[in-house]
Structure 1
Amino acid sequence: MSESKLRSPSVAVTQEEYKQLTEKLSPKPTVLKNALSAFVVGGIICSFGQMIVNFYMNYLGLAKTAAQTAGTATLIMIGAILTGLGVYDTIVKYGGAGGIIPVTGFSNSMVSPALEYKREGYVFGVGGKLFTIAGPVLVYGITSSIIVGLIYLLIR
């Protein structure tokens, strides 16, 4: 192609026209739909967790606090398994914050980085990356509980 056939670029769009064009082409927020799906998904997860706690209390005879601890551990295990199978990502895609906020979301955030590095081996890949996200959370939680415990000890 010869250079004589090329035309010089023309950018004759004002800021106001550009703003109107971007508003027209930008996707509209679906706040109500997102909030409703987060409410439904989070509610289903929490209701399922309550059913697990009730099962532990009624059928296995555990005390309420022991059943709640076992129920939380069970939800963490289920979240890890569903993350490993690739199912939990679909749940979060549909439910948004409703899938991230419960303890299963914490489980998902621990397992996901580990799965990404599985090909590097179980020690350096999975073991090394398992606490990438959970590490700071655990350190903060443990440190906070120690500080609160010391304050409680001093006040009492």
Structure 2
Amino acid sequence: MAADSKLKKDYLNQIKGFQPRTPYISNCIKAFLVGGLICTIGQVIQNFFIHFFNFTKDTAASPTIATLVLISALLTGFGVYDKIGQFAGAGSAIPVTGFANSMTSAALEHRSEGIVLGIATNMFKLAGSVIVFGVVAAYVIGVVRYCIKLFFF
């Protein structure tokens, strides 16, 4: 058993020189810049709704999110969002646009199976888990906030 472990270690040491190094710093910078750009675009859209449609900051939030989802779905359909994702990595996984990209990708992938059994079924497999996680996380945060208010204020 010890010989297997030593053999594995020797093998891993030998192949290290042939493996490409992961550019962590440049990946982080790209993710930060693209994620920031997506958020900036969202802010510009929100300011547009506030300025031209006389929304308040609170009432402009819903149409802003809907617009970001629409833009993300269109970019996914045209194949642009995948290129952004390849370049930016985690920076393209901003919750709203990344979620829309995931759902649209699933719908496009399974469109040959039909609208109900292909698109709707597979598209909402991802949505269901995200919604469940969101509801559970909101509940936990609400309970924590309630306890903090109860005990400290």
TM-score range for the pair, normalised by the shorter chain length: 0.7 to 0.9
- The one-letter code of the counterpart of 1:33 is S
Query: 1:136 is matched with which residue: 126, 129, 133?
Result: 129
The count of aligned residue pairs is 139
Query: 1:35 is matched with which residue: 18, 28, 37?
Result: 28
Partner deviation per Cα, 1:6-61 (whole Å, 9 max, x = no partner)? xxxxxxxx656533321100110100110010011101101000000000000111
More helix by share: 2
Corresponding residue for residue 64 of structure 2:
71
Corresponding residue for residue 23 of structure 1:
16
Corresponding residue for residue 49 of structure 1:
42
How far residue 145 of structure 1 moved from its aligned partner, in angstroms, is: 4.6
SS of the residue corresponding to residue 55 of structure 2 reads coil
Q: Indicate conservation of the 8 Å contact 1:46/1:102, yes or no.
A: no
Flag structure 1 segments of 5+ consecutive residues without an equivalent: 1-13
Corresponding residue for residue 4 of structure 1:
none
SS of the residue corresponding to residue 65 of structure 1 reads coil
Return the alpha-carbon distance in structure 2 between the equivalents of residues 18 and 145 of structure 1: 47
SS of the residue corresponding to residue 36 of structure 2 reads helix
Q: Is residue 89 from structure 1 mapped to residue 82 from structure 2 by the alignment?
A: yes
Moved more, 117-126 or 47-56: 117-126
Over the aligned positions, Cα root-mean-square deviation in angstroms equals: 2.2
Larger Rg: 1
Flag structure 2 segments of 5+ consecutive residues without an equivalent: 1-6
SS of the residue corresponding to residue 45 of structure 1 reads helix
Partner deviation per Cα, 1:68-122 (whole Å, 9 max, x = no partner)? 2211111011111111111100000000111013410011111111111100111
Q: Indicate conservation of the 8 Å contact 1:42/1:102, yes or no.
A: no
